[in-house]
């Protein structure tokens, strides 16, 4: 059984106000061509099809065209909703679409109902676990507390129970959209820590042959059988060093696994440059970045005049300008972005309360109110 594993398309997303729709269309062309040329038995897409709950019409059109092309190839496709998607909107018409071989899994209640794929000898049971927001699914799974780990463990218990009823030799694949411990995040993923701890242990998925993950934008192998393909395009400058790719996975009849990375097309390289204005304008070593999308960090002690215009004369695709003046030795003055890096939305909100109240942070009741408000915003974003 040969699978093509991808995730985190984020159709409709832009990069510092530059539309990426053309680049996303080129990636989807590449995906369809790869599925045909590599003679894959199925395509699995582990969530975040769209970048937001109500995507722009151009993104919906591109998604629709891609589904038609995959269906025309006769390649079964299994997709789950991610934390950026509206599960209800993405899942509209799923029963009808399934007749064309496109299997949309957006309902948590159906996580133990597999798509059965056959290679002519034995079957592969492919289970789709849509993004499980702990607050929304705790009644479905009977969890009260424990966050993402608790709901994913409950969902996987159902998967393993169903798998136990299948004929001997049935292989298994699970699609999930989650932050699994050991994975490396970037600046592009939306925070999912409200409502429970962010990461879940890889052991939650024990007992299946392959776990096709989505959410983190860097291609990563957590174990031989638990992998992220990452996003097909770079969606922030924190991904400038990423090699964007998909996983081509072969599962033999005994469940042994072989993997290969398939590179994605790069619309334009990304570069992060740093230094004083005159250095950035004259350093010959930076000539290789002239055609890249560029993030420039200026370290001049005093902000130069017209920095964007001057730098754009050498770097016409400059998208981001950061000002971090050099500090005298022994001083520490972190930028706003640096101060926030690695902090959850809840922590940032609590820090703000402490800032405006001269150092007095929120009490337990106020923390609970903040958490409830943040949860309400996140639920509204999912389109629930």
pLDDT in tens, 25-34: 999 999 999 9
In this prediction, residue 305 carries a pLDDT of 92
Tokens (6 digits) for 175: 């699609």
- Cα–Cα distance, 170 to 97 (Å, whole number): 25
Q: What is the CA radius of gyration of the chain?
A: 23
Backbone angles phi, psi at 262, to 5 degrees: -110, 115
**Cβ–Cβ under 8 Å, residues 71 and 100:** yes
**Whether CATH 3.60.21.10 fits 2-263:** yes
Cα separations in angstroms, 287 against 284, 290, 292, 304: 6, 5, 10, 21
- Cα–Cα distance, 25 to 28 (Å, whole number): 5
Write the DSSP symbol of residue 106: -
- Cα–Cα distance, 97 to 275 (Å, whole number): 53
- How long, in residues, is the chain? 384
**Cβ–Cβ under 8 Å, residues 240 and 16:** no
User: What are the pLDDT digits (tens) for 30-83?
Assistant: 999 999 999 999 999 999 999 999 999 999 999 999 999 999 999 999 999 999
Residue written as token pair 């993104």: 59
Tokens (6 digits) for 332: 């520490």
What SS3 class is residue 45?
strand
- Cβ within 8 Å of residue 41, ≥6 positions away: 1, 2, 3, 75, 76, 117, 119
Q: Is the dihedral of CA 22, 23, 24, 26 positive or negative?
A: positive
Tokens (6 digits) for 131: 């993004």
Bridge partners, residue 176, by sequence: 129, 213
The neighbour count for residue 22, using CB atoms within 10 Å, is: 9
In this prediction, residue 196 carries a pLDDT of 43
Residue written as token pair 């402490």: 354
What SS3 class is residue 80?
strand
- Cα–Cα distance, 276 to 285 (Å, whole number): 14
**Domain residue limits, the chain:** 2-263, 270-333, 343-381
- Cα–Cα distance, 258 to 320 (Å, whole number): 40
Residue written as token pair 């984020």: 10
Which residue ranges in the chain fall short of pLDDT 70?
Answer: 192-198, 328-340, 342, 356, 358, 381-384
Bridge partners, residue 4, by sequence: 43, 248
Alpha helices in 169-264 (DSSP H): none
């Amino acid at each position: 059984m040969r699978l093509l594993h991808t995730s985190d398309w984020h159709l409709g997303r832009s990069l510092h106000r530059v539309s990426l729709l053309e680049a996303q269309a080129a990636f989807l062309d590449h995906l369809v061509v790869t599925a045909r040329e590599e003679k894959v038995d199925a395509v699995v897409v582990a969530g975040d099809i769209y970048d937001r709950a109500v995507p722009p019409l151009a993104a919906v059109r591109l998604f629709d065209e891609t589904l038609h092309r995959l269906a025309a190839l006769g390649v079964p496709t299994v997709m789950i909703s991610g934390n950026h998607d509206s599960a209800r909107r993405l899942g509209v018409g799923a029963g009808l679409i399934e007749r064309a071989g496109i299997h949309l899994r957006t309902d948590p209640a159906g996580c133990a109902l597999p798509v059965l794929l056959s290679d002519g000898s034995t079957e592969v049971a492919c289970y789709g676990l849509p993004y499980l927001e702990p607050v929304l699914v705790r009644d479905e799974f009977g969890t009260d507390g424990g966050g993402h780990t608790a709901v994913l463990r409950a969902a996987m218990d159902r998967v393993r129970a169903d798998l136990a009823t299948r004929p001997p030799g049935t292989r298994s694949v699970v699609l999930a959209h989650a932050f699994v411990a050991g994975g490396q995040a970037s600046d592009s993923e939306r925070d999912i820590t409200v409502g429970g701890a962010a990461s879940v242990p890889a052991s939650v998925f024990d007992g299946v042959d392959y776990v096709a993950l989505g959410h983190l934008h860097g291609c990563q192998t957590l174990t031989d059988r638990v992998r992220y393909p990452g996003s097909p395009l770079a969606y922030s400058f924190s991904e400038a060093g990423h090699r964007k790719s998909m996983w081509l996975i072969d599962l033999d009849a005994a469940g042994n696994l072989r993997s290969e990375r398939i590179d994605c097309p790069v619309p334009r390289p990304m570069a992060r440059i740093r230094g004083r204005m005159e250095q950035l304008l004259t350093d010959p070593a930076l000539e290789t970045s002239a055609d890249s999308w560029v993030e420039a960090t200026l370290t001049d002690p005093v902000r130069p005049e017209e920095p964007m215009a001057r730098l754009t004369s050498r770097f016409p695709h400059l998208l981001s300008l950061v000002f971090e003046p050099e500090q005298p030795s022994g001083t520490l003055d972190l930028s706003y972005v640096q101060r926030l890096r690695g902090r959850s939305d809840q922590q940032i909100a609590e820090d703000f309360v402490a800032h405006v109240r001269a150092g007095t942070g929120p009490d337990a009741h106020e923390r609970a109110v903040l958490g409830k408000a943040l949860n309400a915003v996140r639920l509204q974003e999912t389109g629930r």
